[in-house]
Amino acid sequence: MALLAPLAASDYVLHVAVLSFIYLLPALGLNLVYGYAGLLSLATGAFFGIGAYASALLALRLGWPFWLAFPAAGVVCALIAVPMAVPALRLRSYSFVMVTLGFLVISESVAKNWIGLTRGDMGLIDIPRPRLGTTALASVTQLYYLTLITAVLAALAFRAVVRAPAGRALIALRDDETLAEAYGLDTWRFKLAAFVLGALLAGLGGSLYAHYTTVLDPLVFDVFHTLTLMTIVFGGGAGTLGGVLLGTVVFLFVPEALRVTPQWRMVIYGVLLVVFVFRLPGGLGPALARRLAHREAA
């Protein structure tokens, strides 16, 4: 169905679909960090922005093709994540959340003020679209397939990670850190790995975002994007893959569908979120899975 969608859907629907495929990468990153390692990190939004800037600057300043800038953006984020995580992972609960929030605010400040590199609030324009051979992938349909492929690959990679012994270790860590430690797990190393991998995923998503929109300014670091990611992961079902896949689609399409009443849009969305929390406290994915299991049993 997803493969044939471009035949039937309008460019606008495809555009929202592309955005949800792009958002899936940082959402999976946050899911790994929060849903599995149990760390509520608001830095995922920062890594999304850093990845976007890294990729855009490599393409614009050094003339790198997208296919090189894309992995490089992930690597840059992973490299930044290590020195950030080493002191931050010593902190617990609130302090950790606030340090990651601080990282987001500071990243935005750097993007705004390092005008020599980022052009500050003027932003970067004409970020090249990915090229295949000699043709640029410029139409929404072409970019739809590109981001669909990256989304599927990211989801498969995510599944491989959480099903591996290391993923099991992360789940043990989230459920009971003391017990996991007593069992002999080096919890710190697993947390670090999850954090770095989450940053890498977010950076790759940022790169796609930059080359899709072709313009970039410090607003990419706006807290709003991070809140969207949290809505996707928490609302979809933290610690599940299916839930986050579902959440990415639902929580990007619902605000778009509400554009029929532009003024009331975000008010309704806010109220829906609250209602949603009371109705499905476990998240969208787990609730759906329960419903399906129930039907099979009946």
Partner 1 sequence: MRAINFAHGEYYMLGALVAWTALDRLGWPYPAAVATAVVVLALLGLAVSRLLMERLLVMPFSMAVLATLGVQLALQNGAQLVWGASPKFFGGGWTAPVQVGGVGIVGQQLVIFGAAAVLFAGLAWLVRRTHLGRAMRAVAQNREACEVVGLDVERVARITFTLGVTLAGLAGALVAPILVNVGTTIGLPMVLRCFAIIVLGGVGSVPGALVGGLILGVAESFVAGYLTLQLRDAVGFTVLIAMLIVRPQGLFGVRVRS
**Binding of residue 264 to partner 1 (CB under 8 A):** yes
Q: Using CB under 8 A, pick the residue from 95, 126, 132, 291 that binds partner 1.
A: 95
Closest CA to 17 of 25, 6, 28: 6
Closest CA to 81 of 170, 206, 199, 193: 199
Work out how close the CB of 234 gets to partner 1 at its nearest, in angstroms, rounded to a whole number.
Answer: 4
Q: Using CB under 8 A, pick the residue from 109, 164, 175, 293 that binds partner 1.
A: 109
Phi-psi domain of 255 (left: phi exceeds 0; alpha: psi -120 through 50; beta: other): alpha
Helices (H) and strands (E) in the chain, counts: 14, 2
Beta strands in 12-166 (DSSP E): 131-132, 135-136
**Binding of residue 93 to partner 1 (CB under 8 A):** yes
Work out how close the CB of 35 gets to partner 1 at its nearest, in angstroms, rounded to a whole number.
Answer: 9
C-alpha 169/C-alpha 161 separation (Å) is 11
Nearer to partner 1, 207 or 240 (CB): 240
Contacting partner 1 within 208-237 (CB under 8 A): 223, 227, 230-231, 233-235
Under 8 Å between Cβ of 127 and 56: yes
Residue 177, CB half-sphere, CA atoms under 13 Å: how many? 12
Contacting partner 1 within 235-254 (CB under 8 A): 235, 238
Contacting partner 1 within 35-54 (CB under 8 A): 40
Work out how close the CB of 270 gets to partner 1 at its nearest, in angstroms, rounded to a whole number.
Answer: 3
**Binding of residue 262 to partner 1 (CB under 8 A):** no
Segment lying near partner 1 (by CB under 8 A), choices 21-29, 135-143, 163-171, 259-267: 259-267
Work out how close the CB of 30 gets to partner 1 at its nearest, in angstroms, rounded to a whole number.
Answer: 11
Under 8 Å between Cβ of 81 and 196: yes
Count of residues interacting with partner 1 (CB under 8 A):
47
C-alpha 191/C-alpha 181 separation (Å) is 12
Nearer to partner 1, 55 or 231 (CB): 231
SS3 275: helix
C-alpha 195/C-alpha 41 separation (Å) is 9
Under 8 Å between Cβ of 218 and 19: no
The total number of residues written for the chain in this structure: 298
Work out how close the CB of 292 gets to partner 1 at its nearest, in angstroms, rounded to a whole number.
Answer: 21
**Binding of residue 82 to partner 1 (CB under 8 A):** no
Segment lying near partner 1 (by CB under 8 A), choices 20-28, 54-62, 91-99, 199-207: 91-99
Nearer to partner 1, 71 or 255 (CB): 255
φ, ψ at 136 (rounded to 5°): -80, 140
Q: Using CB under 8 A, pick the residue from 4, 83, 94, 135 that binds partner 1.
A: 94
Residue ranges that bind partner 1, judged by CB under 8 A: 34, 40, 87, 90-95, 97-99, 101-103, 105-106, 108-110, 112-113, 223, 227, 230-231, 233-235, 238, 263-267, 269-274, 276-278, 281-283
